Chain A
Amino acid sequence: MERDKHLPLTETVYYILLAVVEPAHGYLIMQKVEELSGGQVRMAAGTLYGAIENLVKLKFIQPVASKDSRRKVYAITHKGLDVLRFDLERMKHMIDVTTDRLK
């Protein structure tokens, strides 16, 4: 089977997608990414803004209605969820074969 051309996702993209499984605005995404990665991935504002813009363009995430007038709230799309699952499968496979070989 041909693999999705967006795979593998970068670490930052993977965590951003995971962060917006529940809708979140920019700064909340930044905090969630840090938390989900156990403090390993810290994104600066300019970098995160560019990443969000790019993911919106790819239609992996989309802005949703929010009460906050200044901050846009983003949520993952079906397309985004699919890619996230594909990447999960890819990593599961890597873990499986690696665990076998390193026994």
Chain B
Amino acid sequence: MKKIKFFTNFNEEENWLNDMARQGYQFTKKTSFSYEFESQKPENAIIKMDYRTFKKREDFEDYCALFEDSGWEHIAGTKSSGYQYFKKADKQGSIEIFSDVDSKAGRYKRLSDMWVLLACSFIPILAALISTDTIDPGVMLDPKSLYFTPELWDLNGAAFWRAFLFETPFALFRGFFWIILPVMIMIYLYFAVKANKQYKKTQEDKITRK
């Protein structure tokens, strides 16, 4: 079974996966937005998440080995996926993968940094489009220039509307496709801010708990 979902909070995501396990769906794989589950007998699973990317294969192996040695099965995540999912494999030992607040908060910091980096990677593309005049603010004042149908503006009645409506989606794409770039940048920055807020909030727990 596949489910599409998107979380910005690790605790909520962990709870959801544990809930699914309780209903008999064992989480097995994750792609960007979709979670894959296998039917299994319901269990009280403890699934925990970390966020880490690795430069080298051996670093990733070493990381997984440490978790496995201490009783956590690595159930989803790859060297560069960032999101890493662990399921508690044995009865004894801690039910947490973080034993202090700083490291528990640290995963939000790494997540936030990733979103900022992703947002920044779009800026050179946007800059290139602006400097090569591919983005032409002039079309805002003269939207007619986006229509290429010969004599379009001389047509009348039904013939005009048919041709006009047919070309409008193409014209919009021609003139405004670049808007997707600033939109993506804004969305990524929004996620970065959200993760950073969660980072600060988790760290505040340290003060209030004492």
A-to-B contact residues, CB < 8 Å: 12, 25-27, 30, 42-51, 69-72
Contact = CB atoms under 8 A, between A and B. Distances in A.
Nearest to A41: B99
Interface residues of B, number: 26
B70 A45 contact: yes
B65 A71 contact: yes
The 6 A-B residue pairs with the shortest CB-CB distance in the complex, in nearest-first order: A27-B69, A26-B66, A46-B97, A44-B99, A47-B103, A72-B62
A48 B102 CA distance: 12
Interface of B: 48, 50, 52, 58-59, 61-67, 69-70, 72, 86, 94, 96-100, 103-104, 106-107
A45 B133 CA distance: 52
Nearest to B72: A45
Contacts of B66: 25-27, 30, 45, 48-49, 71
Contacts of A49: 52, 63, 66
A46 B98 contact: yes
B58 to A, nearest CB: 7
Given A26-B69, A27-B69, A42-B94, A47 B100 contact: yes
